[in-house]
């Protein structure tokens, strides 16, 4: 990792693991149809509305911040994406779910997680990505999948090691189905990300230990 010289315009592009996989096929699989922009390096707390030289200098520190060169770690790049919203938008969309936590009692118990976006209308085309951090706790399946051909790539915010335990799904609603727990209660999280607005929220999921009756 390094810093780019911001005295000139630089385009520093690399391929993700998925991009390299498609390119290696040597056919028409690799085709760029969408792109995203992010501002991971920007610290907006450096905006200084009290600068003695006036409004033209409020953001001078931000303008002169160094930019990071691209690197292929999806857990660190593009965590804070820029989004395009209608001109009449008065506030940023917020992703939320009705229940802040879920508790499932026994194997096979299930519940539906139905995210929503306020103001209404956000994520109405590409839906949401739900990431269950620990797949030992439950299964996660889309209850209302996104229309075929529109599903976006799944964002990654976990380390390679943690990602091995996680499962993800894309849709407008998701069913969480408890797996059997014979040793102890297990608690994990589901992160829900808006595929169009970029907003996200997390909920706790607890699957209770299943008591098994024994006969002497």
Q: Cα(39)–Cα(109) distance, rounded to whole angstroms?
A: 41
Tell me the percentage of the chain whose pLDDT exceeds 90: 34
- Per-residue pLDDT reduced to its tens digit, 73-87: 666 677 777 777 777
pLDDT for res 202: 92
Q: Which helix (H) or strand (E) holds 61?
A: helix 60-63
Give the strand pairing for 200-207 and 101-104.
parallel
- Per-residue pLDDT reduced to its tens digit, 140-160: 999 988 877 666 665 666 666
Average pLDDT over residues 151-171: 71
Q: Cα(12)–Cα(41) distance, rounded to whole angstroms?
A: 15
**Of the segments 36-40, 67-71, 76-80, 101-105, which one has the largest average pLDDT value?**
101-105
- Per-residue pLDDT reduced to its tens digit, 88-130: 777 778 899 988 899 999 899 999 999 999 877 778 888 899 9
Tell which CATH classification among 3.60.20.30, 2.40.170.20, 3.40.50.450, 2.60.40.10 matches the domain 94-207: 2.60.40.10
Q: Which of these ranges, 33-42, 123-132, 175-184, 197-206, has the smallest mean pLDDT?
A: 33-42
pLDDT for res 159: 60
pLDDT of residue 198 exceeding 90, the answer is no
- In 3D space, the residue among 167, 193, 171, 198 whose CA is nearest the CA of residue 81 turns out to be 198
- Per-residue pLDDT reduced to its tens digit, 134-144: 999 999 999 98
Is pTM beyond 0.75 here? no
Other CB atoms within 10 A of residue 188 CB? 17
pLDDT of residue 1 exceeding 60, the answer is no
Q: Verify cis geometry, omega within 30 degrees of 0, for the bond prior to 106.
A: no
Q: Cα(158)–Cα(74) distance, rounded to whole angstroms?
A: 8
Q: In this structure, what token pair is assigned to residue 164?
A: 């091995």
For the chain, residues classed under CATH 2.60.40.10 are: 94-207
């Amino acid at each position: 990792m390094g810093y780019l010289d911001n005295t000139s315009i630089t385009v520093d592009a690399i391929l993700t693991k998925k991009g390299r996989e498609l390119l290696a096929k040597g056919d028409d699989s690799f085709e760029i149809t969408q792109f995203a922009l992010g501002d991971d390096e920007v610290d907006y707390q450096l905006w200084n509305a009290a600068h003695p030289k006036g409004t033209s200098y409020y953001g001078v520190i931000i303008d002169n911040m160094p930019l990071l060169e691209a690197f292929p770690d999806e857990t660190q790049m593009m965590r804070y994406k820029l989004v395009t919203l209608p001109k009449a938008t008065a506030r940023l969309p917020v992703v939320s779910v009705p229940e802040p936590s879920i508790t499932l009692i026994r194997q096979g118990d299930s519940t539906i997680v139905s995210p929503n976006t306020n103001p209404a209308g956000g994520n109405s085309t590409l839906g949401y990505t739900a990431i269950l951090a620990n797949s030992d706790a439950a299964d996660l399946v889309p209850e209302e999948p996104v229309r075929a051909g529109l599903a976006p790539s799944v964002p990654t915010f976990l380390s390679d090691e943690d990602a091995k335990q996680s499962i993800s799904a894309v849709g407008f609603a998701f069913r969480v189905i408890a797996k059997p727990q014979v040793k102890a209660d297990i608690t994990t999280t589901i992160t829900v990300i808006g595929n169009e607005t970029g907003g996200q929220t997390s909920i706790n999921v607890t699957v209770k230990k299943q008591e098994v009756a024994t006969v002497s």
